[in-house]
Structure 1
Amino acid sequence: MLAAIKLIDSLVKKTLTAFCAVLLLMMVAFTVYSVVMRYVFENPPVWGDLLTVLSNIWLVFLALALTVRDRDHIALDLVYTWLPLKAAFAVQQFWSLVIFGLGLIMIIYGLEAVDTMGGKYWEMWYFAWEDGGFVFKPNYMPKKYAIAIVPISGFLVSVAALASIIEDSARLKAGTYDLANETDVRPQTD
């Protein structure tokens, strides 16, 4: 059971990392294309800047889940080094719970925002899933598609925070717990 959970955790991390890499590549490609079209050919695409911004937003929100799972988010690492291990564990678990709560808020209000988001991006046509396949829609893309990353990221952040809490608790119980990123901040003892 534990091996299956670790495999799923690894696959999710690799998938999110791949999505982030693709989004970064798209962001660079859209920017370069827009700049070349604007300054060399004097005919910029109307969609170039929008796709760059949307790629950036989705990249940041997906990367948030990765940083939470790897415990690379902003933390009080220096303060942890001054505390006894169990106190540092308690503080770190508290912040993981806060991040878990933030993820829940992102889900709840993100779904509400997606549901109530009006308007369309006039620059973008889009594809939709209808009758068992993708259908090209020649009208404008609804803005709710862009904001849909908020509840998705909220779910991923909540799961990542919960996984970190469970993993750290199991490691503390087993006596193998050590602070996340502790090698970066703990003083060297020889």
Structure 2
Amino acid sequence: MLTITRLVDRAIRMILTAFCAVLLLMMVAFTVYTVVMRYVFENPPVWGDLLTVLSNIWLVFFALALTVRDKDHIALDLIYTRLPLKWAFLVQQFWTLVIFALGLVMIIWGVEAVTTMGGKYWEMWYFAWEDGKLVFKPNYMPKKYAVAIVPISGFLVSLAAIASMLEDSARLRAGTYDPAKGLDSGG
């Protein structure tokens, strides 16, 4: 069971890392294309800046889940190293629980934001799934598509926090727990 869990954890991290890489590449490509079109051809696309910003937003939200899982977020390492091991474990678990709660807040209010979000991006066309097939929609893209990253990221953050808590608990039982180190210390 533990090996399956580790495989799933590793697969999720690899997929999120790949998404982040693709989104970063898209940000650069959209920016370069827009700048070249604006200053060389004097005909910038209306969608260039919007897609750059949307790629950036989605990249940051996916990277949030990765930082929670890899424990690369802002931590109290100085405090952890000064406390007795059991106390350091409890403090770190508490903060991971707070991050888990943040993920739940992102899910709950993110879903509400997506379902109630009005408006459309006038510069964007989009694709939709209708009647069992992908259909091109020549009208404006709903803004809720851009906001959909909030509940998705909330789910991934909560999942990462749970995985981190379980991993730390297993390390404490095995006697290999080090509160000042993340996954790079042998996970």
TM-score normalised over the length of structure 1: 0.94
Q: 1:8 corresponds to which letter in structure 2?
A: V
2:70, 2:180 → 1: CA distance?
8
Are 1:136 and 2:110 counterparts? no
1:115 maps to 2:115: yes
The separation in 2 between residues aligned to 1:40 and 1:180, in whole angstroms, is 51
1:27 and 2:27 matched? yes
Q: Calculate the aligned-residue CA RMSD, in Å.
A: 1.2
* Local SS of the residue matching 2:128: strand
Superimposed CA distance per residue, residues 154-186 of structure 1 (whole angstroms, 9 cap, x where no aligned partner):
00000000110111011111211112437x9xx
Q: Distance in 1 between matches of 2:153 and 2:94?
A: 20
Q: 1:84 to 1:144 in 2, by over 3 A?
A: same
Question: CA shift at 1:44, angstroms?
Answer: 0.6
TM-score normalised over the length of structure 2: 0.95
Runs of 4+ in 1 over 3 A off after TM superposition: none
1:40-79 equivalent positions in 2, closer than 5 A: 40-79=40-79
Q: Secondary structure at the match of 1:78?
A: helix
Confirm whether residue 2 of structure 1 aligns to residue 2 of structure 2.
yes
Give 2:167's aligned residue. 167
1:36 deviates by 0.7
Deviation at 1:42, TM superposition (A): 0.8
Q: How do 1:75-86 and structure 2 match up within 5 A?
A: 75-86=75-86
CA distance in 2, matches of 1:124, 1:110: 22
Report the alpha carbon displacement of residue 83 of structure 1 after superposing the two structures with TM. 1.3
Matched, 1:154 2:154: yes
Paired position in structure 2 for 1:37: 37
Letter in 1 for 2:34: S
Deviations 1:25-52 (CA, angstroms, capped at 9, x unpaired): 0000000001111111111100000000
Contact 1:107 1:151 in 2 (8 A): yes
Q: Which residue of 1 aligns with 2:88?
A: 88
Pairwise CA distance, 1:65: 0.3
